[in-house]
Structure 1
């Protein structure tokens, strides 16, 4: 039985504990228990969260854990000397030491991220980079694995972290089944961007949203202004004007961003060569896709694929 401990402290954010459900469901999918999950704290008392929720916890003691996960909070954590000492000691005994969101700041303060690649919530990544310059902060990752230390972005990214651990332990099929039972749209790989193109575009009207949904479903096709306007039931001239007013971008630029996002997801999945990905996402050829990736990331697809393989 693998013991998984979630470490909480005053001000932790309750959404981090959603990752515990992934391990619970993995036990059910597997047919027999694999994980023993508990909530731990330095005092072993009822710990108040960042809002209205408090949780009961068991005390951090000499129990051996396979995996320890530090939760994050809406504010930067202020770990006690005792918690930092415990985390440092645990690093030498656990198979995996992980953080969700601002939990990375605890690992950083304990000195365990120096020289390592790490991530956190994109809003606080610059702060992590400034306060701890020895860390190789990658602020646009869902999660990262560097040796025995795992770090994830904020909020729901803790679930992606847990699913990746389950996949490492029990295989891709069980992890996929757990994701389905959690009613997730898809299981995000570690290298995926923390930002969603559709969320960033944030159209205000149903007609522009409909056009973007049409584009996302038909990336392989030629997506002219006329086609998108037809999906939105507007004239091309009206469509272009309203689209730019609502999103701040041209339709062509928005379509390119959707194609880049889809291509990067296919790169993460690692099942197709670059030429196939270029065709399936509407770039037609690898050179056109390469130029788009250089504009978006400053790196060609092959370099990003190589980085993802290291995650």
Structure 2
């Protein structure tokens, strides 16, 4: 059983502790059995949110024995993390653990030296501070999360959900991650990056139009769809559509379509017996060769290898 440990320090925000608890801490025998073993590790007497006492038999040193370690947001980015926590994170990583941070938890990973020379993200409001304090970290404030060499970082609060679902997807496949997302009533995979949350919101009428357009496109992935087709359907010019797409989703229309097609292909490979050529046709990729090229680039393995790993997940 995979052990997922969350690091709790004095005054840590409640939401960022609750997110991994909700994803990894609830048994789901109908999806995967056994699920994860979830533990909270904290110094004696630590409180969450300044009022909820973390009553756990596991100290910070126990983080080193976990398979996945999650560091929620800091109580104060200007305060040096406990040395016991930094030592445990370094040891966990040396032991082969996957180490992840939510929001300003990236400051803790940076203090431990785990982000040196790596791309990392955090909440956009704290990105400049992270870059200034840790110049060896390549801070990217435009993404929702990053996954590099078993070190993962995510943007603020809700992006922690995206990150945790990403880890479930890596462990158990898209179908299982999607099932967990449905139970949490959240999107299984949000497109784009933090820019969509910094930008000014759309007028409501245009926002509704784009939401309807995305829903229509997702239902017609087997058909050839161009940017002109999307613009015509939304009653916008192609330039206006592309600009609004970037503002709302953080990506371009064609990149969004490709991502949706890859997600759909993953589900078909997991849930059906369809051959790669048929899967390619059903997701609008045209040929198996085209699907293999894009799938390998996006997922990191060919469709056949992905199917061998995840076929039958969360039927």
> Same fold judged by TM-score > 0.5?
yes
The answer for the alignment partner of 2:152 in structure 1 is 150
Aligned counterpart for 1:88 among listed residues 90, 96, 114? 90
Partners of 1:68 and 1:100 in 2: how far apart? 11
Partners of 1:52 and 1:69 in 2: how far apart? 21
Q: CA deviation at 1:307?
A: 9.7
TM-aligned CA distance change 1:6 to 1:221, over 3 Å: same
Q: CA deviation at 1:224?
A: 4.7
Aligned pairs (5 A) from 1:292-307: none
The answer for the alignment partner of 2:31 in structure 1 is 30
Kept in 2, the 8 Å contact 1:129–1:137? The answer is: yes
2:73 matches 1:72: yes
Q: CA deviation at 1:140?
A: 1.1
TM-aligned CA distance change 1:181 to 1:52, over 3 Å: same
The answer for the alignment partner of 1:10 in structure 2 is 10
Q: CA deviation at 1:161?
A: 1.1
2:103 matches 1:101: yes
In the TM superposition, what whole-angstrom CA distance separates every residue of 1:180-221 from its partner, at most 9, and x where no partner exists?
Answer: 1110134236xx302326x73336xxxx41332123323724
Aligned length: 246
TM-score by length of 1: 0.68
- Rg comparison, structure with higher value: 1
**Secondary structure of the corresponding residue to residue 27 of structure 1:** coil
Aligned pairs (5 A) from 1:102-251: 102-188=104-190, 192-196=192-196, 200-202=199-201, 208-218=203-213, 220-222=230-232, 223-224=234-235
Kept in 2, the 8 Å contact 1:117–1:137? The answer is: yes
Task: State the Cα RMSD in Å.
Answer: 3.1
Partners of 1:102 and 1:27 in 2: how far apart? 29
In structure 1, stretches of 5+ residues that fail to align are: 228-249, 273-304
Aligned counterpart for 1:266 among listed residues 257, 261, 267? 257
Q: CA deviation at 1:88?
A: 1.5
TM-aligned CA distance change 1:61 to 1:185, over 3 Å: closer
**Secondary structure of the corresponding residue to residue 207 of structure 2:** helix
Q: CA deviation at 1:178?
A: 0.6
In the TM superposition, what whole-angstrom CA distance separates every residue of 1:228-284 from its partner, at most 9, and x where no partner exists?
Answer: xxxxxxxxxxxxxxxxxxxxxx99954674486462443444639xxxxxxxxxxxx
Partners of 1:134 and 1:308 in 2: how far apart? 27
TM-aligned CA distance change 1:30 to 1:216, over 3 Å: closer
TM-score by length of 2: 0.68
Partners of 1:188 and 1:218 in 2: how far apart? 16
TM-aligned CA distance change 1:254 to 1:165, over 3 Å: closer
Partners of 2:242 and 2:95 in 1: how far apart? 52
Q: CA deviation at 1:129?
A: 0.9
Partners of 2:179 and 2:11 in 1: how far apart? 32
